[in-house]
Structure 1
Amino acid sequence: MTRLIATRLRGHHDDRGVTLPELLVTMLLMSILSLMVVGMVAGFSRTFAREREATDSTTIASAGMKEVTRVVRAATEIRPAGEPDNVPAFIDARPNELTLYAYIDTAAAAPKPVKVRFWIDPQRRLMETRWVTTSTASPWSFPATGAPTTVRPIARSLPVTAPAVFEYLDKDNEPMAIPAGGFSDAQKRLIAAVRVTLTVQTDPTGRAKAVTMRNAVGVPNRALDRVRATP
């Protein structure tokens, strides 16, 4: 009986806890596990951010390309006020700037042309400026250049190193070299298509690659006046 009581007492007093080496090993394992978890979370966050920026760039480029394509395809010759005859559909055609006449977003019963300009502002946004005609019939008058009807961005975050937005093609699908002084009226009438290249990079860190969309837009009505001039 005495031996049994002594054994039980030793068992109660043998509560030594965790030794220092065991504690250090446990802390080391927990640190390694924590680093692995943090690394996985950080990796997932970077991947998600990269995919989000890539999606954002794609969405912006797609919307901008859609608008430019829609307007360029509707380019049409018109007779402006003060002119004895029709003028080319393209008013100004440069690598990063394009101004044209088009019948778009107008009433079907009484269509009227608009003058549209695409250009890149200092914030590297592709802008669209429109002038709605003040006339009710041809010949058409437009507000002064400094008094646009609407100005809006249609794409943003165009890199400085991005290629030219506009390239002009003839009827044989060959690029037309732009003279130093710009195209003459005769050369403007030879533009059969516009190749649009839109590059967007919304990720300032550069982790997500830039998105580039390219489309050759035909100009089927470039030599046609949609509405006859008033006699």
Structure 2
Amino acid sequence: MTGALRRLHADQSGVTLSELLVAVSVAMVILVAVGGFFTATLRAGSTNTTSDQNARSASIVMNSLTRYVHAASLLPKADGSYAAALTEAAPTRTTFYAYINLDGNSTDKPVQIRYSVNAAKRIVLDQWDGTANNGFWTFPATTQTPTRSVVVGGPVASPTVDGDPLFEYLGANGTIVPTQSDGTLAATQLGNVRAVRVNLELGSSTAGLSGNTHIQNTLYLFNVVYGTNTGGTP
């Protein structure tokens, strides 16, 4: 017995190659599992941060649109008629008059507002101040430099992952006003618009990208008579 124990303690051959390979394989499996979990955790955290930032930015954009579109108004003309509230209606661009006290002064002044998507796929708010003449207001062409221009947020994807454009236009019956082949409304159709549906997918110009925030809201033109389909007189 003593001789057997002596021989056992004297055996310094160590582990075999097969045992070493098994140990390495098990260690690699553990390392890959732990590394994958760590990577997934980092990606999830990054996605959550991006989603939160995009949600905040989308909220800012929608609040800006809501404030101005709700204030869209018919514009009185010197001949006693009224110009339609909207002067341009396109999938990624909408221009309209807004008759509201925007600067805190006691006198309300109409402004011409345009929301559009620039080359960087960001939403831009342009504003043109009008010129008063005997109580009536005129505005420069939108090709001229705006009085104020600010990037509201973005980038945005239009059409969205659902295939919807940034802006859609609804008539008095609540349905989408048919567009021309290029997606815009003709000048004769502008007076029929009673609401603007905003399909906002913000975060990337690529629709459906992970982390994008998608919001849809219908903004009614409260200062335009809703019960009629034609512009002209309120």
Which bin holds the TM-score, normalised by the shorter protein? Answer: 0.7 to 0.9
Specify the alignment match of 2:96 in structure 1: 100
Is the 8 Å Cα contact of residues 156 and 205 (structure 2) preserved in structure 1?
no
Letter in 2 for 1:71: Y
Asked if the contact 1:76/1:89 (under 8 Å) is kept, the reply is yes
Deviation at 1:211, TM superposition (A): 3.1
Match of 1:45 among 39, 42, 45: 42
Write the letter of the residue equivalent to 1:191. V
The number of equivalent residue pairs is 214
Structure 2 counterpart of 1:216 = 218
Q: Which structure has the bigger radius of gyration?
A: 1
**Please, which moves more after superposition, 170-179 or 36-45?**
170-179
Which stretch of structure 1 is more off in the superposition, 176-185 or 151-160? 176-185
For 1:134 and 1:157, the matched residues in 2 are separated by 34
Helix, strand or coil at the partner of 2:135: coil
2:155 equivalent to 1:154:
no
Contact 2:75 2:97 in 1 (8 A): yes
Unaligned runs of 5+ in 2: 226-234
User: Which amino acid in structure 1 is aligned with residue 32 of structure 2?
Assistant: L
1:124-139 alignment, distance < 5 Å: 124-135=121-132, 138-139=135-136
Is 1:77 aligned to 2:53, yes or no? no
Q: Which of 62, 65, 68 is the aligned partner of 2:62?
A: 65
Aligned partner of 2:107 in structure 1 is 110
Report the AA paired with residue 92 of structure 1.
Answer: E
CA distance in 2 between partners of 1:130 and 1:39 (Å)? 51
Contact 1:92/1:100 (8 A) holds in 2: yes
1:193–1:160 CA distance, 2 compared to 1 (3 A): closer
Deviations, residues 172-217 of structure 1 (Å, cap 9, x unaligned): 21221134684335x4333221111112243969661643211111
Partner of 1:140: 137
* Distance change (3 Å), C-alpha of 1:205 and 1:107: closer
Give, in whole Å, the separation in 2 of the partners of 1:166 and 1:203. 16
The one-character-per-residue Cα deviations of 1:145-170 (angstroms, maximum 9, x if unpaired) are 32212222223122254321222222
Compute the RMSD of aligned alpha carbons: 3.3
Q: 1:201 to 1:99 in 2, by over 3 A?
A: same
The amino acid that maps onto 1:42 is T
CA distance in 2, matches of 1:43, 1:160: 30
Letter of the structure 2 residue corresponding to residue 150 of structure 1:
R
Identity of aligned residues (%): 24
The 5-angstrom pairing of residues 186-225 of structure 1 reads 187-202=189-204, 208=210, 210-222=212-224
1:136 & 1:63 partners in 2: Cα distance? 35
Give how far 1:41 is off.
0.8
1:140 partner SS: strand
Q: Does 1:26 align with 2:23?
A: yes
The structural deviation recorded for 1:137 is 7.7
TM-score by length of 1: 0.75
